[in-house]
Chain A
Amino acid sequence: MTMLVGNFGLSMAMLAALIAFLLSVAAARFRSRVFLDCARGTIAAHFVLLSISALALLAALAGSDFTLDYVAHYTERALPIGYKLAAFWAGQEGSLLLWAWLLAAMSTIAVFTMPMPRFAESSAEPAAAIATLAAVCGFFAALMLFAANPFVTADLVPTDGHGLNPMLQNPGMIAHPPMLFLGYAGYTIPFALLVGVLVGGRTDNQWLSLVRPWAMVSWLFLSIGILLGAQWAYVELGWGGYWAWDPVENASLLPWLTGTALLHSIMIQQHRGMFKRWNASLVAVTFILCIFGTYITRSGVIDSVHSFGKSLIGTFFLVFLTASIAFSVLVMIARRKLLKPEHELEILSGREGFFLATNVLLVGMTVVTLVGTIFPLISTVLADQQVTVGPTFYNKVVAPLGLLLIALMAVGPLLGYGKDAAARLARGLIVPAIAAALAMAGFAISGLTNLWALIAAVIAAAAVTAVLVDLFRSVRLFSLNHQLTIVASLAHMLPVNRRRYAAQIVHVGVILIVIGITGSSLFSQKETFSIKQNDTIQFAGRTLTLTDLRPVEAANFQALQATLQITDSHGRQSTLTPQIRQYNKWDEQASSEVSIDSSLREDVYVTLASSDGKGNVAIQVIINPLVIWIWIGGVVLTLGGLIGLFPRLARRLAAVPAAPAPAPQVKSKKSRKNRGQMGVRASV
């Protein structure tokens, strides 16, 4: 029954995507509004049909319907209901269905929020965008029907399922994959809008205000997804790290890097009409990288720790990837006239130059990461010898570029547009420079000698102060001009300059993340100990005592739990309880459950590595400084992103009191806020 409903949904959804595609082609060909509206409706129908399939799978998972191979493969009766449902995306087929369903949902929102032409003559632009969405939606539906069907039934129905892999039984499993897929799916919409503009022949930059929210939403989801993945790896895998430069991790980082570049360069095109080719390429490349990442990790061409069996879907993705690249290149060449800049770049020291530098660095990081990821392929083709480049390669190349980027971040937001920007900037840099000097002095006093840490600290100090100085100066100016208190001015300004402050908050989040990464990667200490009950060990200024070792039990696993009493140098006590779990359905594989004591200063991270059954255990203790700032930074970044996306949220957060004067434009001698109007100079 589930099989029938699921397959019905999938096949009808594929048909709907095909019809939507044909209808939009017809709408473009015959300049018809009617066809256009029908195409939009069919995209919505595609979403409804896929929802039927998705619900069928969810119902089967919740009800432990083991007639479905997929359900039997990834769940068991004793599994908690949350994980039963999350098993939706535990496997290849289900995760593709999730992606397809999210894509269908976002496409439906996109086609109904797209402005429709007033005259039927200009139907080509929305039609081409809808056709693109329909093609991608159709691809995913076809992929599931022909290569990775989640609704395959079992020949013999088992009484109980295999169970979910222990590593996936973590709260990270519930949130991380959907976030990541929302990001991947979301980047399809800017691509579709780009195709629409190029095919429709639009010359103005209006369409970017449509692209921006999608680029922002997708970027935010991708960021959250990546961070959740890192956090999951950190608490689950037991090696004390959160990022290993594994191909699958890189695959999610690549579109994030180009997506970040896109968010910045969009602004230049909106304000100055420049960087058009660059923006178009970034939109296309980001979409293509989402597909590419999926291709390399699911086809088996690159060995990854997230291994998939080799399967037909690799071929499907390769064909789709090649077609997307070829189509993007062709359409951009054919419409190259539309992508000519309205202004030439005049000066490097202004905002434009900084945005250019930001973009170049981000794309540089993308290229380096890409080359590293596919190096095993490159070396096999060129030298018939597989060579991998390890984490050291990325750390040595990407980390310096990243720090340079943060340095730009300290200066960039303070800059205006145009020629005299640099002169206006100088005053704003005094305080950040002092902060940087203080950071340096702090290092000298504390006796830390690590050069990278020093550089990171100086840059982070300068960047954070720059944001604060900028905020303080504009708030003070506003309060002087309007005779308001500082708090009231802040409340007024936050909604008015929402985008700017949202960006600043995101920047602070990124800086916090960089601080966390720097601290934990440079100053981590690790040691393994073999101990027995009541043994006491000394490590990194702490005393650890194994006070208890006992078996514990849960619905679907049994575990050996160690209790460690930890006293730090200040006498603060904490208790950690790492476990070795033996899941009932995974008897050949023990799984260690990490226990972490987190503080703002550092994490104490303890793994129970092994036990000989006679009371002797091996434990691994890792001291990871500042890790928590990565997660705090993630929260700050998310908050900034949400404020940028939802104006009302910003207004509510600021809880505006009765406004005496609705002054959206503040006259300032620095005239930074008028940047939208100013500086449109005649080009060469």
Chain B
Amino acid sequence: MPALQKKLLLGGALLVVAVGYLAYAGMKSGWVYYMEVDHFLADDQFKTQRVRLHGKVSEQDFNVKGLDANFSMLGKSRSINVAYHGVIPDMFQSGRDVVVEGQLDQAGVFRAQVLMTKCASKYEPNSPHQNIKEQS
């Protein structure tokens, strides 16, 4: 049945193209590099991009007040200042591993829109140890 097969092929091709386009568009807006603090500071190309950073919250340089968190995030050898405004996740503490998502500002402070805490020591069935709290 060649006519039907042609139709099927055409339909399939259309669908693949459509999904491919959607996926491409979605990737472009959802694409975020994930890296460690040291890697981020070592490579200039990321300074102007939205990235997701993993590091440890400094024990000394750590200041939470109301809806603001200002802290230093430590990598292996270097550190970066992070400013976050929004609801602070329950698990956020000095010394914890955190992931922040945002961008570097002019003053060299990392402006985080997303602050996630992470605690690899225990299993949590479907109740995240991190809270994703995005600023609108």
Contact = CB atoms under 8 A, between A and B. Distances in A.
Interface of A: 89-92, 95, 165-168, 170, 172-173, 176-177, 180, 229, 232-233, 236-239, 241, 244, 246, 248-249, 298, 300, 303, 305-310, 344-348, 360, 364, 368, 371, 376, 385-397, 400-401, 526-528, 530, 588-592, 607, 609-610, 612, 616, 618, 620, 684
A158 B4 CA distance: 72
Nearest to A610: B66
**Closest 3 pairs (CB-CB, A-B):** A393-B30, A305-B128, A396-B26
A382 B128 CA distance: 29
B7 A90 contact: no
Contacts of B23: 368, 371, 393, 397
A61 to B, nearest CB: 15
Given A91-B123, A348-B7, A591-B90, A393 B129 contact: no
Contact of B31 (A389, A394, A590): A389
Contact of A89 (B4, B30, B125): B125
B29 A684 contact: no
Contacts of A305: 116, 118, 128-130, 132
B19 A95 contact: no
B75 to A, nearest CB: 15
Given A172-B127, A249-B126, A300-B120, 14 more contacts: A167-B127, A303-B118, A305-B130, A307-B124, A346-B1, A368-B19, A371-B23, A387-B33, A392-B30, A393-B30, A397-B26, A401-B22, A610-B66, A618-B87
Contacts of B4: 345-348
For chain B, give the interface size range: 35 or more
B52 interface: yes
Nearest to A380: B34
Contact of B19 (A238, A246, A248, A397): A397
A238 B123 contact: no
Contacts of B119: 307
27 contacts: A90-B125, A95-B125, A167-B90, A173-B125, A180-B126, A229-B126, A233-B127, A237-B127, A244-B128, A305-B118, A307-B118, A376-B34, A386-B34, A387-B34, A389-B32, A390-B30, A393-B23, A393-B30, A397-B22, A527-B136, A528-B87, A530-B66, A588-B93, A589-B91, A592-B90, A609-B67, A610-B67
B24 to A, nearest CB: 9
A389 B123 contact: no
A371 to B, nearest CB: 8
B133 interface: yes
Given A397-B19, A610-B66, A618-B67, A392 B26 contact: yes
B131 interface: yes
Contacts of B19: 364, 368, 397, 401
A344 B19 CA distance: 27
Q: Interface residues of A: mostly helix, strand, loop or mixed?
A: mixed
A661 to B, nearest CB: 42
Contacts of B41: none
A233 B87 contact: no
A241 B123 CA distance: 21
B131 A237 contact: yes
Contacts of B91: 589
Contact of B127 (A236, A309, A388, A616): A236
A610 B88 contact: yes
Contacts of B118: 303, 305, 307
A387 B15 contact: no
A394 B132 contact: no
B33 A386 contact: yes
A309 B120 contact: yes
Contacts of A348: 4, 7-8, 11
B26 A233 contact: no
B126 A609 contact: no
A535 B1 CA distance: 74
Contacts of A92: 123
A237 B64 CA distance: 20
Give the interface centre of A393, A530, A590, A620 by most chain B CB atoms within 10 Å.
Answer: A393
B26 A590 contact: no
Nearest to A307: B120
A401 B21 CA distance: 12
A528 B127 contact: no
Nearest to B86: A528
A620 B133 CA distance: 11
B35 interface: yes
A364 B7 contact: no
B123 A95 contact: yes
Contact of A392 (B29, B33, B66, B88): B29
B65 interface: yes
Contact of B124 (A306, A394, A616): A306
B92 to A, nearest CB: 9
Given A397-B23, A589-B93, A246 B66 contact: no
A388 B66 contact: no
A396 B22 CA distance: 7
Contacts of B61: none
B129 to A, nearest CB: 6
A364 B67 contact: no
B107 interface: no
A306 B123 CA distance: 7
A528 B67 contact: yes
B128 A393 contact: no
Contacts of B7: 348
Contacts of A306: 123-129
Given A95-B123, A307-B120, A589-B91, A393 B33 contact: no
Given A239-B132, A248-B126, A394 B33 contact: no
Nearest to B43: A385
A297 to B, nearest CB: 9
B31 A387 contact: yes
Contact of B90 (A89, A364, A390, A589): A589
Contact of A165 (B15, B26, B32, B122): B122
Nearest to B67: A618
B121 A309 contact: yes
A229 B123 CA distance: 15
Contacts of B59: none
Give the interface centre of A229, A244, A307, A392 by most chain B CB atoms within 10 Å.
Answer: A307
B128 to A, nearest CB: 4
Interface string B82-98: 00001110110100000
Interface in B70-121: 86-88, 90-91, 93, 99, 116, 118-121
Contacts of B17: none
Nearest to B21: A397
Contacts of A618: 66-67, 87
A239 B88 contact: no
Contacts of A592: 90
